Structures are given as C-alpha cells and as structure tokens.
Structure 1
Amino acid sequence: MSDVRDAGVQDRAAVAAMLGRAFANDPAMSYVFPDPQDRARRLPKLFAVLFDGDADGMRLVSGPADAATLWRAPGKASTPLTAMIAQALPLIGALGTAIPRGLRISGAIDAHFPVEPFWYLHVAGVDPSQQGRGLGGKVIRAGLARADASGAPTYLETATESNLGLYGALGFQLIGDWQVPRGGPRFWSMRRPVGG
C-alpha cells in the first residue's frame, strides 16, 4: 500500500475528474442526473464538493488519482446543516435542477446510517481505464487499516449490486437493502467490524 497516500488540495481536480468517470454509469448518479451528457458535465463538480466536504475524515488516493476513497470520521457521517449552508453555492452549481433528486438520495442515505459511531466509506472509485488491477481494493484496505487502528467499525452503502462481492471480500457484511423513495435506486448497506 506504499503508493496509497493522503490526498491534498493539489489532488482535488484529478480526484474529482476520475470519480466523475468512475461513476458515469452508477445507478444513484444516473438517477440524480438522468441525461448522460449532463451527468458527465456535472459529476466532476459534485465530486469536487464532496472532496472538500470530507476534508475532516480521510481522503486517500493511489498513484496519480487512479483510485480514491473519501471517508467520514465517526460521528460525522451526516452533513450538518451549517456545512450544507457553507457548501450551498457549490452544490447548486454542481446539481443544478437535480437538487430535489440529490436531496432525496442524501436523505435516504442518512436515514439508514447505523446508530453506533463508525467510519463511513463515503465514496470509492477507480478510473475505468485502471479497473481490474486491484487498485480499488488497495486504496480501501489502506482506509480500513486506519479505521481499525482507531477502534471503530466501518460502514458503506452501494447502489451497484456487483460491488457486493468486492466489499464482502474486504470483510463487509450485508446488513440491509432499501429503495430511495419516488422511483429512486436500490441501495445495499454493509458494515465491517473492527479487524473485519
């Protein structure tokens, strides 16, 4: 894991662009931005906002942003109202008319968080040109090692059913599945105990 490092401000644009490509066909992002061209244009902006919002957790990157994870620290999984207000203009710029769908997904995600303190694997992505090389697992394992050292379990949700095998191999256990209201995508919630 020697090439996995903390992502800094200098990595913001590259990480946001890579995550935009990685999530181009994600069911949740396809729901938020139904038009593929609009999605391609807006996703890097959205991931730049998320990158900024996760500065207090862990932002890990492999190589020149071939893979990245954004983590939120225990007790900070939900975005507080003050942070949402501070990010309002960038979020409006990123989401545009998709704000209601974005808020619907965000609200559903928050409603399914565990009650215990946990590290939240908020975002994990690998550049499509680099997938299949183990980079995603490597950058996730680096975050899991830090989470284990803190003594807190980890949690994630995914709207991509094919991700369940990867996360299962990393020690995550399926704890539920649920649907975003009003025609939104299905999500799977997974938890990993300390040392998983």
Structure 2
Amino acid sequence: MPERAVRLAGNADRVPVAAMLARAFADDPAMEFIFPDPADRTKRLPRLFALLFDHDAAAGMRLLTAGGEAATLWRGPGQVHTGRLAMLRRLPGLLHALGTNVSRALRVGEAIDAHMPAGAFWYLHIAGCDPAAQGRGLGAVAVRAGLTRAAGRLPAYLETATERNLVFYAGLGFAVTGEWIVPGSSLRFWSMLRPPG
C-alpha cells in the first residue's frame, strides 16, 4: 500500500479508530498493567483511545490507512507533555476512561515523561494495527507516512513496552536508546529514537 493511501484522520474517525486501537492494544503489557482486569480493559480502552485521539488532534497529527486498519497518533515538537491546566480540563474524561486504574496510569505516564529526550522531536505517541489486518505491512505504511509528512525533518521518538516491536521499529530506522522499568513494578519499556531524514 503506498503512503498516499494514508490520510489525516478527522473527528468522524474518532470512534472507529478508538475501537481499532483498543483491539490492537488489548494484550499490550502497559495496558495490561494499567487495566489488570481483562473485562475492565476491554470496556475502558476505547474510551482511553478516544481521549488520546482528541488530544493529539491539537498536539500533532493523526494518520489513518485508507481502510482504517492502522493508525498513528503523533505529537509535534514542544507538544509532548500535557500541562496541568489541560489535564484538569480532561479530568472528567480521564476518570471515565480509567476508573479505579488512575494511580497505575499516572505511574506509567510519569515514567514515560521522565524518559523523553531533550530537544525538538516528533513523538510517535500511538501506533496500532487491527489484529485482523496485521502482517500486511499496514502498520509500517502508517508510521512511514508520519515520518514523511513531518518527522523526517526532525528526530522521531517512541517508547514501547512490547519487546517484539523492537524489530519492527528498527526496520523503520529507530534504534533503542534506553531500557527502563516503571518504578514499583516489573513493567519494562524501551525508548527508541530515529534520526531525521
């Protein structure tokens, strides 16, 4: 699939993208840590991804393959962190999405923030492909489209808690720059950076 088959996602894509990302992240170690109960995770992940979809509209760009099988949510330079005021405005939605899992989500978020690189970069905040469409290269197409549109002019950064993703992202030019554990847990992340170009 050529990169031109990837488009900017609009507000009408919110619900289907959130549902697709919920399926894609159903067995993600970070989501399993935040939502340890599988039934609760299934209920809450679409809510969480809908909130992230909304936030990343103003913070960067949202890309979607033509058939909606894969999506990437990017945050632009200087847009990585959510300020306290913005967090307070989102508090009702966050509480609705996270329920009793708020403290675990905050621990993960704080650890992620602590490992962000210095300087200007594009942050690949979320990248997911529907499990039914995996293995067809759609996720790679969605990531490459983001790199082509904006991140190619600056470094691109991501973190992943899924070890099998390391080879996937290495094939897209990312290299591991760190490995770390969320404090007070056994949840492991890898930081990866891709140089510009």
Q: Aligning the two structures, in what range does the TM-score lie when normalised by the shorter sequence?
A: over 0.9
AA aligned to 1:11 is D
Task: Report the counterpart of residue 53 of structure 1 in structure 2.
Answer: 55
Q: What pairs with 1:38-187 in structure 2 (closer than 5 Å)? A: 38-56=40-58, 57-148=60-151, 151-187=153-189
1:194 match: secondary structure:
coil
Partner Cα distance (1:176, 1:169) in 2: 18
Task: Report the counterpart of residue 21 of structure 2 in structure 1.
Answer: 19
Give the gaps of 5 or more residues in structure 2.
none
Partner Cα distance (1:83, 1:129) in 2: 35
Which 4+ residue blocks in structure 1 deviate beyond 3 angstroms? none
Whether contact under 8 Å (2:121, 2:151) holds in the other structure is no
1:30 match: secondary structure:
helix
Q: Name whichever of 33-42 and 56-65 sits farther off.
A: 56-65
Aligned residues: CA RMSD: 0.9
Partner Cα distance (1:176, 1:16) in 2: 29
AA aligned to 1:152 is L
Partner Cα distance (2:180, 2:151) in 1: 27
2:4 match: secondary structure:
coil
User: What is the aligned counterpart of 2:7 among 5, 8, 13?
Assistant: 5
Deviation at 1:22, TM superposition (A): 0.3
Partner Cα distance (1:54, 1:163) in 2: 22
Whether contact under 8 Å (1:51, 1:59) holds in the other structure is yes
Instruction: Compute the TM-score of the two structures, normalised by the length of structure 2.
Output: 0.96
1:64 match: secondary structure:
coil
AA aligned to 1:62 is T
Instruction: Compute the TM-score of the two structures, normalised by the length of structure 1.
Output: 0.97
Q: Name whichever of 59-68 and 43-52 sits farther off.
A: 59-68
Deviation at 1:167, TM superposition (A): 0.4
Partner Cα distance (1:157, 1:117) in 2: 16
Deviation at 1:64, TM superposition (A): 3.2
Deviation at 1:183, TM superposition (A): 1.2
Partner Cα distance (2:144, 2:97) in 1: 30
Partner Cα distance (2:189, 2:82) in 1: 19
Q: Over residues 17-57 of structure 1, what are the superposed CA-to-partner deviations in whole Å (9 max), with x where a residue is unaligned?
A: 00000000000000000011110110000000000110120
Give the gaps of 5 or more residues in structure 1.
none
Change (3 A) 1:148 1:101: closer
Partner Cα distance (1:109, 1:99) in 2: 15
Whether contact under 8 Å (1:147, 1:154) holds in the other structure is no
Count, aligned residues: 194
Deviation at 1:13, TM superposition (A): 0.2
